[in-house]
């Protein structure tokens, strides 16, 4: 029996992670390459993606004839049905057909979806959400992403624009969000939100270990982890604030969808272990109906950096089943 392989990609604003899965869905090759992001020409990012796939095939000794499909998750609003990136905040793509050049180059189907939606799908199929039918997920990174599985299906809403949980308005008089609204969950609980709060406290003369580790609009998660371990008052306060608003948002999602499980992922959650989930668990009961809350589990994501990779694998597997 001929071996059959699948290439799965996590396309980010600064890097592309590529993985090859064999017919048993085991990882047989992995490669990461950096991109320059939004300042780079559309064609250049496309070429980096092509180069990653080509290099993985070459170095793994796998031929194009052995390839079944390629799938990817990428940031932005993505027409998943047609493989068109309508808008991406960190990549130079607007109404851009990424599917056609990839399929033309490698001669196999190419699938793409929003990175957080794809990541949630990965957790549902292979991670913390496995075995559940209704899943709500929050991904805490530079921004705040959300994802939703309803009755075993990824819900993306009209025109693939749904499940933007990061822009739930929790306080209309709250801090300004990058989306233009005030009081969004992202403005409170993302890396950017946490950074803004820490900068405010520094401006008020409060000392903090984080002062030397704020890089532009954000920080590296490992420095937050260290500050929390040292019980830095400002860092602890900023995280408590972020977790409070995540608990409020979680309560709203529990009341709205009555999910089987709520999953928390992203770089901040990965760096701090179960700390965020423990703090949310202490607070969440105040913000949802007990009769609904008692059937909902809260967990950290299980796949780490590979949630989007496994979600891309799921896109391939689901399409194969539908054909």
- 228-245 pLDDT per residue, tens: 999 999 999 999 999 999
Q: Which CATH number does the domain housing residue 82 bear?
A: 3.30.420.40
Q: In this structure, are 314 and 283 located in the same domain?
A: no
Domain that holds residue 68: 5-119+306-322
Higher-confidence residue of 114 and 90: namely 114
Whether residue 126 lies inside any domain: the answer is: no
What is the number of alpha carbons within 13 Å of residue 284 lying toward its C-beta?
A: 24
For residue 185, pLDDT beyond 60:
yes
The DSSP H or E segment spanning 107 is none
Whether residue 124 lies inside any domain: the answer is: no
**Contact between residue 73 and residue 308 where contact means Cβ atoms under 8 Å apart:** yes
Q: In this structure, are 207 and 226 located in the same domain?
A: yes
Beta bridge partners of 183: none
Whether residue 286 lies inside any domain: the answer is: yes
Higher-confidence residue of 103 and 90: namely 103
- 43-96 pLDDT per residue, tens: 578 888 999 999 999 999 999 999 999 999 998 889 999 999 998 876 778 899
Q: In this structure, are 297 and 169 located in the same domain?
A: yes
What confidence score (pLDDT) does residue 194 get?
95
Q: In this structure, are 215 and 314 located in the same domain?
A: no
Share of the chain above pLDDT 90, in %: 76
Q: In this structure, are 157 and 247 located in the same domain?
A: yes
Share of the chain above pLDDT 70, in %: 95
Q: In this structure, are 265 and 287 located in the same domain?
A: yes
What confidence score (pLDDT) does residue 43 get?
58
Q: What mean pLDDT comes out for the span 192-219? A: 91
**Contact between residue 106 and residue 55 where contact means Cβ atoms under 8 Å apart:** no
Query: What's the CA gap between 314 and 300, in Å, rounded?
Result: 20
For residue 112, pLDDT beyond 90:
yes
Q: What is the pTM for the complete model shown?
A: 0.89
Phi first, then psi: what are they for 108, rounded to 5°? -135, 160
Which of the residue ranges 42-46, 76-80, 168-172, 214-218 has the most confident prediction, judged by mean pLDDT?
A: 168-172
Q: What mean pLDDT comes out for the span 22-43? A: 77
Q: In this structure, are 198 and 264 located in the same domain?
A: yes
Query: What's the CA gap between 164 and 186, in Å, rounded?
Result: 10
What confidence score (pLDDT) does residue 305 get?
85
For residue 220, pLDDT beyond 60:
yes
Taking the alpha carbons at both ends of the chain, their separation in whole angstroms is 21
Task: Calculate ∠ Cα 232-238-240, nearest 5°.
Answer: 100
């Amino acid at each position: 029996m001929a071996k059959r392989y699948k290439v799965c990609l996590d396309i980010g604003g600064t890097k592309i992670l590529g993985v090859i899965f064999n017919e048993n869905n085991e990882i047989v090759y992995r490669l990461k390459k950096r991109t320059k992001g939004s300042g780079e020409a559309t064609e250049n990012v496309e070429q980096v993606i092509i180069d990653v796939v080509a290099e993985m095939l070459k170095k793994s000794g796998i031929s194009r004839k052995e390839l079944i499909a390629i799938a990817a998750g990428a940031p932005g609003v993505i027409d998943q049905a047609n493989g068109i990136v309508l808008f991406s905040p960190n990549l130079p793509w607007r109404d851009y057909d990424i599917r056609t050049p990839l399929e033309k180059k490698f001669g196999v189907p190419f699938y793409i979806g929003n990175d957080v939606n794809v990541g949630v799908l990965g957790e549902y199929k292979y991670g913390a959400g496995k075995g559940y039918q209704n899943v709500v997920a929050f991904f805490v990174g530079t921004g705040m992403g959300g994802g939703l599985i309803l009755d075993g299906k990824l819900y993306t809403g009209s025109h693939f624009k749904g499940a933007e949980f990061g822009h739930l308005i929790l306080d209309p008089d709250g801090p300004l969000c990058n989306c233009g609204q005030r009081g969004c969950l992202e403005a409170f609980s993302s890396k950017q939100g946490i950074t803004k709060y820490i900068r405010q406290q520094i401006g008020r003369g409060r000392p903090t270990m984080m002062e030397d580790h704020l890089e532009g609009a954000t920080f590296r998660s490992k420095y937050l982890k260290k500050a929390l371990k040292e019980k830095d008052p400002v860092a602890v306060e900023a995280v408590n604030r972020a977790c409070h608003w995540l608990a409020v948002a979680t309560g709203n999602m529990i009341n709205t969808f009555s999910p089987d499980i709520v999953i928390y992922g992203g770089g901040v959650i990965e760096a701090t272990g179960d700390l965020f989930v423990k703090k949310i668990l202490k607070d969440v009961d105040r913000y949802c109906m007990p009769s609904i809350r008692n059937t909902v589990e809260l967990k950290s994501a299980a796949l780490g950096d590979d949630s989007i990779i496994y979600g891309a694998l799921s896109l391939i597997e689901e399409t194969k089943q539908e054909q």
